[in-house]
Structure 1
Amino acid sequence: MTVQRLDFEIDGLSCAGCVGRAETAIKGVSGVSGAEVNLATKSARVALEGGDAQEVSRALDTAGYPAVPHRQRLEIAGMTCASCVARVESALEQVPGVTGVTVNLADGVAAVTTLDKDTAPLIAAVKSVGYEARPVQTGTTAADTVGAEIRHLRRSVVVSAILTLPIFVVEMGGHAVPALHDAIAATIGMQASWMIQFVLATLVLAGPGRIFFAKGLPALMRRAPDMNALVAMGAGAAWAYSSVATFRPGWLPAGTVAVYFEAAAVIVTLILLGRWLEARAKGRTGAAIKRLVGLRPDTARVDRDGAIREVPVGEIVRGDRVYLRAGDRIPVDGEVIDGRSFVDESMVTGEPVAVEKTAGAALVAGTVNGNGALVMRATAVGADTMLARIIEMVEEAQGTRLPVQDLVNRITAWFVPVVMGVALVTVALWLAVGPAPALPFALVSGVSVLIIACPCAMGLATPMSIMVGTGRAADLGVLFRRGDALQSLQSVDVVAFDKTGTLTMGAPQVTDVASKGDEDDFLATVAAVESASDHPLAGAIVAAAEVRGLDLPQASDVQAVPGQGLSGTADGRSVAIGNARMLEQAGVDAGGLTEQAEALAREGRTVVMVAIDGVPAGVLGLADTLKPTARATVAALHAWGVQTALISGDSEPAARAIAAELGIDHVVAGVLPDGKVAAVRDLQQGGRKLAFVGDGINDAPALAAADIGIAMGSGTDVAVESADVVLVSGNPGGVAEAVEISRRTLRNIWQNLGWAFGYNVALIPVAAGLLYVFDGPLLSPQLAAGAMALSSVLVVTNALRLRRVKTEALS
């Protein structure tokens, strides 16, 4: 038995004991004949005799020393159907160190998880089964990879059509118009006509149609036939029979001499036409990534040795000073160190209003500087920028494989061999029991079966919908980080929300002002004293006064009293601000403010009492205000029959006030992170599928515990990494959009699969001659080729409808 060598990195090694435990774990895997773990290089060398790299990886995970995986993306050239996908996947899975493979027919990319960084063995494995492979760079789109293919196919279609048209007119025109047939016979003669057809058809098969033979026949020799093999056999059989009829008619039984050059030529032309249309449509599926890649500028002005120079963005390193002019697109993530401007961040936030940026403010790659000049320090470059991470997430989402695809793959792996078997049986039955002359009937029916079968449509049904659906989701600011989330989200029963920063803005705002005297004077006086404090509530009060355009009096002697409030003097008046205890310590009877304060508290407001010159002056109510789309989001979920819940660490009154305002069904308040997990578990009782939406570090456990975790992109990295879906803008409306995209994409997939399988189940028997048995027509190979080409085009076109998905409830 061949011994396979694995060399890979291991995480978590810190001592000799770790080395021993890691080696023991590896050697415990069946098929491992040797293992050496090196502490210095933190790597392992393993000898496998029939063992499985995935088992080795799982054993190390269990031991607490996980193997470090590497994700490789390869562009595969030459795949045309689901059978190709199955063969490429099988070849890659056999490469030592590979732990996971997903091949996408729609974009022609294989995503491989392997313990080895080297791509050479992967490329060699793909080549061994008749395809070409090369590494893909992040940001390469379907439009980039199929551009050359589209141009080549267009030329092939034009040449093939020009050569095929005379054959079609002469042969089929002669059948349709007897006078044309008689004219040909009376002038050049039928033998000369067949000779001309032979030359033109041979040029079609040897030129534009050569691809089917170059790829199909080797696949047939390897006993791994694909779509190219079916076309090669069908067109080749029609051409060979016609050539014999033309040059050696005596070899054929009496009454069977006829030519089908037009069938061979039309088959090639129509299938090339279908592939051209399909390739053009595929190019549009990468539009989302292409738009994202287009947000990256090529160059930037950077400080180099005291001089400002324009350098490629790829040469910027962390710490570089980058100079931005008005209108420049920001090249990398960073922070402002000088200047003032407004930046259009709609790419990230979805908000059309530009955001003011001054020293210390964060900048995101891909956003656009306004009218001012800025100097920034680069803090994240290359693959570490937010834009690069977004592109990577979209690429991974578009290349994902849903659970439904596994069933499709199992069926299509046997599809082409079964079709060839059906074609042989068809020919045999026609020869055995068909009417005389049986041979032409057998030939036409056998070729039609080979041509009409369409594994292309079955192979494209799922990945095309995924690519377009996730691309549209990315346009809406929704990124699917886990493949099964796209399928699971459409059947979710409950959506649970965190409150602060998810449904609300995450910062308090003044919602109520109730004063005994002039309201503006009251607010200005309170804001003057609060302006000396850095407490979040103080900032909200000052902001409320600024919104009203109030002039604040001079404040002095401001003192904070922990847990109670603060006091000071404003415009010569003594002011006490805080809770009832604060006013009592100032010698003020707060009884006159109690009723208003309690009413505001019942509504979930944070209450601030105020006394001026020893007299109760009024109260302020503050609350974390709702995000604009929160109400519409909850309404949309309810309209779809999805229940909603609020799980918050905030107080019971505040949480219930928000829930009542939004119409949320369940409320769990005042809980710590472990309490949020318990609440998630309770809501999952009875087999209900739950999605949890959050943004903070304290939400990470709940995001992981939920069936689908949805994180606000404006939240913490910990929350984002724990999630299955990321809402880039932090807009809760993205939840409804994610559910809508999921539902529409899965519906689209089932439509495609229904068409692809229904088409084959219905038309293969028709092609075999079933209708003819009941005095119906016999399907011609030309019609079979047209139907086959149309099948793939219809699947792709149906998937492209997802580009127009829009959540009406949020419009």
Structure 2
Amino acid sequence: MKHTYTVTGMTCNGCRSSVEKALNSIKGIEAVVSLDPPIATLLMKDHIPLVQLQETLSKAGKYSISMESPTDTISETPNELPIKSCCSSNKPQEKSTVILPANAQGKYYCPMHCEGEKVYDKPGDCPVCGMDLVKAPELNIGKTLYTCPMHPEVIQEGPGSCPICGMDLVPMEPTESEENKVYNDLVRKMKIAVVFTVPVFLIAMSDMISNNPLMKIMEASKWNWVQLILSLPVVFYSCWMFFIRAYKSIITWNLNMFTLIGIGTGVAFLFSLVGMFFPDVFPNEFKTHNGTVSLYFEATTVILTLVLLGQLLEARAHSQTSGAIKELLKLAPTEATLVIDGADKVISIHDIKKGDLLRVKPGDKIPVDGKITDGESTIDESMISGEPIPVDKKIDDSVIAGTINGNKSFVMIAEKVGSETLLSQIVKMVNDASRSRAPIQKLADSIAKYFVPIVVVVSVLTFFVWAKFGPEPAMVYGFINAIAVLIIACPCALGLATPMSVMVGVGKGAQSGVLIKNAEALENMNKVNVLITDKTGTITEGKPSVEKVFSTNNDDDSLLQSIASLNQYSEHPLAQAVVNFAKAKKVSLIEVKDFEAISGKGVTGTVTNKKVALGNKKLMEQVNAAVSAELENQIIAEQKLGKTVSYISVDGIAVGFVSITDAIKPTSVEAIKELIRQGVEVIMLTGDNENTAKAVAQELHLSSYKAGCLPEDKLKEIKRLQSEGKIVAMAGDGINDAPALAQADIGIAMGTGTDVAIESAKITLVKGDLQGIVKAKNLSHAVMKNIKQNLFFAFFYNVLGIPIAAGVLYPFFGVLLSPMIAALAMSFSSVSVIANALRLRSLKL
């Protein structure tokens, strides 16, 4: 087998040579490495895991290897550390993902990744940008890693706040206990904040009551001391984290919503302290009729408490956005019934090994992926495929972990366990995709970069304008409105607009059997205007069966034995159909020499000292086999019926053919009709002959098709369409589709296809039919619409809120916005964005 990988870390020909030498040292590998592009082409006798390749390269130097392009890499194993680079070099990509090698775990790197994959043994400062080096996480089993919902490059052990935006980090693999711990901590702090804030607020508001009853108990200066004491637990315990985040944001110049909250409430609190201890430094404008300075302890505590309420609601709402992942995690059972020596034994799911026989009882969840070896049943696969109708299963049929058995018992053999199961792969893909960034996020990132400094400038201008032109007490008005401007601005809502919708959308897709690799694919699917589709296994069932074997010599059984023996070495579905047909006819298979599979054409070999070839007309031309006119006419007649026909030649003479039928999936006609209605041009590219392709195209009402396509022909056609400005999606299921899937703007793999096809694709359809493409298109449209709504809410809110807070309505309507009302509005702006994203959970695909 042949695989192509991307290698990073090579800077010269010496590096290239070192990498090539290291890879060739692995037994069973022949490696050729190029420097530009940085590609390693490996020929393997058996599949070598990526982690083994990485370990070998790590010993040779600071090199990393991956299946993806260097601009969009998702790690294949837990031993690879995905780290986003925000300012590394002058590459045209604004944000790229860098994979730290496995030996980087526990070491230190620059969070801006100025020096690529370079790591240090000790903490310190980055020699390029001066930022503190951070420790690479040790991705050991059992440790819960946390990430930021807005900045997925931030990864750390244990909870905390994002060093970039200040948001609470969330578990990368959500668990009820971890999320409850964060939520319960916020609830506890909220209760304490409310207990101390309410009396501070009541004391401050008592001045609005005629004959203030509190003044009869003690004088105003003493009540100021009470307010100070009551505000201390709110400022220095419940909400102290906001000031820490604000401080970090300023010293790292990653300005965010907590910068504004920290400055606004910090200035109000410090102003109040100075006003208590040094009242004489303030002009009379800041003093009450009692001669004391107007204090803002109530504004400080109420604003902080309202911000904390927003964080609490946000934490609760955010946990719901990852609900799809948690539901997937719940599908896996904890125990299984092992059949050993004829007896049943209950074991942990973690103790299951490949090859184990497992008994699945009625109503049980299937523990791992495998095949039924004894018995039959009906299985509910809706949680994996999204289809509600149970599926009948019999001996040799595949079953999937997490699906639910019906009312019969059966025995299965375990084929994929642990992280290899489809359920585990789905959970990993959903996790990776929900933390990836959509291209539209760049708009929000660009605005957020300048947002906070602009708000601070607007706040300062607000103070001076009011102090200069406002009514008396002008400076008090200026001070209050300046704080209101700082508090109401919420870049957090802007930052959450995209990732929340992506997270919910990806989860919704997974529940419907549409697995999306990253947010870019989710966004671009909405732009697709051309769909290239294969025929066998994509439009058709992919379960071909032989209708007949025709021989010009009337020796059908002998010819069947030759071609079935030849096909026993091929993995192609058509080849398997011939072998199955021979077995059903009780025809024995014999030895074949010089077997060769010719991609896109067929197979050849020597059977009983005769050179036999089985394939399409191109293969007959390649082996110089003469085809009589009579045989050609019979083949054309079969092809016009929609049958796939393979020529058979023996010693350079065509002596017969195999007629194979592969039924069109019932959903293909409906799906293609709907896609065409949505403005998508559907083109079928098939390796089959012109007559068969035409018959299928007519049945599906396709406007365009091409027959006789080799893998390179599909690739060329996609490139041609892309050069015309088309956004091309490619749907396929075979190894020969992998290059085209990788070239297409959106590669769509049928989940029933090969691992190579799925690896090359950006979207995988679990059920494996074209109806899934309609679902993916509808999902993409809904998510992009939801993101645009969120961005509108965030933009509109700030465009409207900041001027009102600055007091532009006061000259016309006498309206001013209290900083406390501004804090409440700011808190709920983020929650409203999340709530809008959660609407995607009810989307019907």
| TM bucket normalised to smaller | 0.7 to 0.9
State the TM-score, normalizing by the size of structure 1.
0.72
Q: 1:751 matched to which residue of 2?
A: 789
226-235 or 95-104: bigger deviation: 95-104
How many Å separate the matches in 1 of 2:373 and 2:164?
56
Match of 2:615 in 1: none
In structure 2, do the counterparts of structure 1 residues 252 and 538 end up closer, same or farther at CA, with 3 Å as the change threshold? Answer: closer
Distance 2:167 2:113 in 1: 16
Structure 1 residues 223 and 697, CA gap change in structure 2 (3 angstroms): closer
Structure 2: which 5+ runs fail to align?
1-8, 39-52, 85-95, 98-107, 120-135, 138-144, 288-293, 548-559, 568-572, 590-629, 646-658
Q: Amino acid of the residue matched to residue 265 of structure 2?
A: A
Match of 2:353 in 1: 317
- Three-state SS of the structure 2 residue aligned to 1:693 is strand
Cα pair distance change 1:341/1:220, threshold 3 Å? same
CA distance in 1, matches of 2:335, 2:198: 51
User: What CA distance in whole angstroms lies between the structure 2 residues aligned with 1:639 and 1:24?
Assistant: 46
1:651 aligns with 2:684: no
Q: 2:403 aligns with which of 367, 385, 389?
A: 367
Partner of 2:242: 212
Corresponding residue of 1:110: 153
Q: What displacement does 1:709 show? A: 1.0
Return the TM-score normalized by structure 2. Answer: 0.70
Closer, same or farther in 2 for the Cα pair 1:640/1:188, shift >3 Å?
farther
What's 1:400 paired with? 436
Secondary structure class of the residue paired with 2:413: strand
Q: Distance in 2 between matches of 1:487 and 1:438?
A: 50
1:37-186 to 2 correspondences below 5 Å: 41-44=56-59, 46=61, 71-72=80-81, 91=111, 93-94=113-114, 97=117, 105-106=148-149, 109-110=152-153, 140-141=173-174, 145-172=178-205, 174-175=207-208, 178-179=209-210, 182-186=212-216
CA, structure 1 residues 165+222, in 2 after alignment: closer, same or farther (shift >3 Å)? same
1:227 equivalent in alignment to 2:227: no
What is the CA deviation profile of residues 740-794 of structure 1, one whole-angstrom value per residue up to 9, with x for unaligned ones? 1111111221221222233223322332333335564232101210121121111
Whole-angstrom distance in 1 between the partners of 2:760 and 2:267:
57
- 8 A Cα contact 1:235 1:267, kept in partner: yes
Code of the residue aligned with 1:698 in structure 2: it is N
Partner of 1:472: 508
Q: Does 1:444 align with 2:474?
A: no
> Which of 741, 746, 754 is equivalent to 1:703?
741
Per the alignment, residue 527 of structure 1 pairs with: none
Q: Does the 8 Å contact 2:377/2:394 carry over to 1? A: yes
Give the CA deviation at 1:728: 0.8
Q: Does 1:741 align with 2:750?
A: no
SS at match of 2:353: coil
Matches for 1:549-568 after TM superposition, within 5 Å? none
Name 1:795's counterpart in structure 2.
833
Give 1:481's match in structure 2, choosing from 517, 521, 533: 517
Aligned to 1:13: 22
Give 1:132 deviation, angstroms.
12
2:708 maps to what in 1?
670
1:492 to 490, 505, 528: 528
8 A contact 1:333–1:364 mirrored in 2:
yes
Q: Give the superposition deviation at 1:304.
A: 7.2
Quote the residue 2:420 is aligned against.
Answer: 384
- In the TM superposition, what whole-angstrom CA distance separates every residue of 1:585-640 from its partner, at most 9, and x where no partner exists? xxxxxx9xxx9999996563679xxxxxxxxxxxxx99533323223322322232
The 2-side partners of 1:662 and 1:487 are apart by 28
Tell me the residue number matched to 2:296: 260
Partner SS, residue 372 of structure 2: strand
- Structure 1 residues 403, 166: closer, same or farther in 2, change over 3 A? same
Asked if the contact 1:143/1:286 (under 8 Å) is kept, the reply is: no
Aligned pairs (5 A) from 1:270-349: 270-302=306-338, 308-349=344-385
One-letter amino acid of the counterpart of residue 645, structure 1: I
Partner of 2:269: 239
- After superposition, the Cα gap between the structure-2 partners of 1:136 and 1:748, relative to the gap in structure 1 and judged at 3 Å, is closer
Structure 1 residues 132, 799: closer, same or farther in 2, change over 3 A?
closer
Q: Secondary structure at the match of 2:433?
A: helix
> Which amino acid letter does the alignment assign opposite residue 436 of structure 1?
E
Could you give the per-residue CA deviations for residues 624-673 of structure 1, whole angstroms, max 9, x where no partner exists? 33323223322322232222222222333433333333332212123222
1:200-248 deviations in Å (ceiling 9; x for gaps): 3333223322221233335445555543332222222223333444554
In 2, are the aligned partners of 1:14 and 1:39 still within 8 Å (CA)?
no
Show the counterpart of 1:424.
460
Q: In structure 1, what residue type is equivalent to 2:179?
A: V
- Residue in 1 aligned with 2:555? none
Amino acid at match of 1:255: E
Corresponding position of 2:614: none
Secondary structure of the residue aligned to 1:667 is strand
Counterpart of 2:665, as a letter, is K
Counterpart of 1:217 in structure 2: which amino acid? Y
In structure 2, C-alpha distance between the alignment counterparts of 1:318 and 1:678, rounded to whole Å: 41
Asked whether the equivalents of residues 161 and 269 of structure 1 are also in contact (C-alpha less than 8 Å), the reply is: yes
Is the contact made by 1:709 and 1:723 (CA closer than 8 Å) also made in structure 2? yes
Percent of aligned positions that are identical: 37
Alpha-carbon offset, residue 470 of structure 1: 0.8
Tell me: CA distance 1:24–1:509, structure 2 relative to 1, closer, same or farther (3 Å): closer
Determine if contact 2:163/2:249 at 8 Å carries over to the other structure: no
Q: CA deviation at 1:450?
A: 1.7
* CA deviation after TM superposition for structure 1 residue 422, in Å: 3.3
Query: Distance between the aligned counterparts of 1:192 and 1:415, measured in 2?
Result: 41
Residue 714 (structure 1) shift: 0.9
Contact 1:448-1:779 at 8 Å conserved across structures = yes
* CA distances 1:104-155 after superposition (whole Å, capped 9, x unpaired): 642775378xxxxxx99xx999999898999967xx2276653322222223
Q: Deviations over 1:71-115 (max 9, x none)?
A: 33699xxxxxxxxx99x9972525762799999642775378xxx
1:677–1:702 CA contact under 8 A, matched in 2: yes
Letter in 1 for 2:281: W
Task: Give the aligned residue type for 1:164.
Answer: T
SS at match of 1:160: helix
Whether the aligned pair in 1 keeps the contact of 2:384 and 2:512 (CA below 8 Å) is: no
Amino acid at match of 2:786: N
SS in 2 for 1:166: helix
| Structure 2 contact 501–783 (Cα < 8 Å) conserved | yes
- Residue identity opposite 1:796 in structure 2: I
Between Structure 1 and Structure 2, whose CA radius of gyration is higher? 1
Amino acid at match of 2:80: R
Structure 1 residues 419 and 46 mapped into 2: Cα distance closer, same or farther (>3 Å)?
farther
- Structure 2: which amino acid aligns with 1:97? E
Which residue in the other structure is 1:552 paired with? none
Q: Hey, what's the Cα distance between the residues in 2 that align with 1:235 and 1:380?
A: 56
The amino acid that maps onto 1:156 is: K
In 2, the alpha carbon distance for the partners of 1:190 and 1:42 equals 73
C-alpha separation in 1, matches of 2:37 and 2:575 = 59
Aligned to 2:731: 693
SS at structure 2 position matched to 1:343? strand
Whole-Å Cα distance in 2 between the matches of residues 774 and 748 of structure 1?
A: 36
- Aligned Cα RMSD in Å? 5.2
- Residue of structure 2 in register with 1:679 after alignment: 717
Kept in 2: contact 1:72–1:111 (CA 8 A): no
Q: Are residues 488 and 371 of structure 1, via their aligned partners in 2, closer, same or farther at CA, if it must alter by over 3 Å? A: same
